[in-house]
Amino acid sequence: MKPLIGMMLGDPTGIGPELCEMVAEQKFDARIVVNIPAFRMDVFANGALVKSYKVGIGYPQFPLPQGLRLAQVIIFNPTWTPPDEPWVASMRGVAVGQRVAAGSKLNPLGPIKIPIGAPSLIHGGKPLAKIGTFASHGCVGMTNSQVLDFAKVLTKASETDLSEETMAAYLSKRNRTQVVKLNKQVPVELRYETIVVEDGKVHIYRDVYDQGTNTEESLRAVLGANGASLDSLSSEERAQLLAAVDVMSRHPSKQPTPKPALAKPANSADAIAAANERRAERERQKKLRSQKEVVIEITALIGKGYPAPVNLDSGAGTQVAEVATATNKP
């Protein structure tokens, strides 16, 4: 999967075309890739995926931007200055423009932040319940344990001389901010890809920001980029893919048709059976509406696509070397 050179939004970090070209030509040893609809962040080093994280993303009204950014520093015990935004008014104890001290309970950034171009950050401070869902005002949100682990991985990937003992010493002084400059700048790709071929499977994510990306046209483009064609697939595979694309869009055009209820049940057993069918149909549609991802295995894509998660940190305190998602039929 190539870097997102064509999706920069006005070059918000001043990266410039020269650096963009360097990223495109893979001249960086490390890079970070965030796929927003997948709630997933990956760290690459020496051309290989070394670490994956489940993360929180910006609310739809405060979306995480898309494009190419740059990580240059790690800030331990960051302060926070509330922006001039309406949502700040709902927070008790803080005021617009009034700096909140490092380590304060009112500081939402947690113990570590990594700026990636205004106004976005990668930062901690998020409860586990916010991982894998909407969690921030335009930032990548992580739990405190996740962001500490990420800082260690980023330090190693950028060849920065910063030991775990030094990190622990910084964090022990919660009211003192420490800024560590990375030895090598690390590109951060913020992507919005709702249809992804990953390790031989098609992952279709919900269109969380209502970008209209889950379409047959997009599906055909993704398959074509991976050497496959929708028309060459089996009829069952085509039907599954098209149904999944529709279901995972923000405005599905094809609603499942519930089975009609029996007008006059012949007996109480028939009435109970009809009621159970209606209940099951309601539960099925409710599950589809809340489902964040559909995964369909396609024979023609075996061995192709973006890599599966590596050492996935879900924020729950446990890590899985490789997570396999069961194939779902919409």
Tens place of pLDDT for every residue, the chain, 330 residues? Answer: 443 333 333 343 444 555 556 555 556 789 999 999 999 999 999 989 999 999 999 999 999 999 999 999 999 999 999 888 888 887 888 888 889 999 999 999 999 999 999 889 999 999 999 999 999 999 999 999 999 999 999 999 999 999 999 999 999 999 999 999 999 999 999 999 999 999 899 999 999 999 999 999 999 999 999 999 999 999 999 999 999 999 898 777 755 555 555 456 667 877 788 788 777 766 765 666 668 899 999 999 999 999 999 999 999 864 433 333 333 333
Same domain flag for 212 and 108? no
Considering the domain boundaries, does residue 176 fall inside one? Answer: yes
145/219 same-domain check:
no
Alpha carbon distance 160, 169 (integer Å): 17
Q: Verify that 203 and 253 share a domain, yes or no.
A: yes
The verdict on residue 316 lying in a domain is: no
Q: Are residues 65 and 186 in the same domain?
A: yes
Whether residues 65 and 177 share a domain: the answer is: yes
Instruction: Give the Cα separation of 254 and 239 in Å (integer).
Output: 13
Q: Look at residue 88 in the predicted model and tell me its pLDDT.
A: 84
Residues 76 and 154 in one domain: yes
Determine phi and psi for 35, rounding to 5 degrees.
Answer: -100, 110
Domain with residue 60: its CATH number is: 2.40.440.10
47, 203 in Cβ contact below 8 A? no
- Domain check: are 210 and 175 in the same one? no
pLDDT of residue 89: 80
Helix (H, G, I), strand (E, B) or coil at 147: helix
Is there a single domain that holds both residue 180 and residue 204?
A: no
How many domains would you assign to the chain? 2
Q: How far apart are CA 302 and CA 198, in angstroms?
A: 9
If asked whether residues 56 and 184 sit together in one domain, one would say yes
Residue 289 has a pLDDT of 62
Query: Residue 24: what pLDDT?
Result: 54
Structure tokens at 111: 């113990």
Q: Using alpha carbons, list the distances in angstroms from residue 249 to 19, 210, 269.
A: 34, 8, 38
Count of CB atoms situated within 10 Å of the CB of 77: 23
Question: Do residue 64 and residue 155 come from a single domain?
Answer: yes
Q: Are residues 52 and 155 in the same domain?
A: yes
- Rounded to whole angstroms, the Cα distance separating 192 from 240 reads 22
Domain hosting 167: range is 5-191
Q: What sign does the CA torsion over 271, 277, 280, 285 have?
A: negative
Q: Which of 162, 191, 220 is the last residue of a domain?
A: 191
Q: Are 198 and 238 in contact (CB under 8 A)?
A: no
Task: Give kind and range of the element (H or E) at residue 33.
Answer: strand 30-35
In this structure, the answer to whether residues 155 and 45 fall within a common structural domain is yes
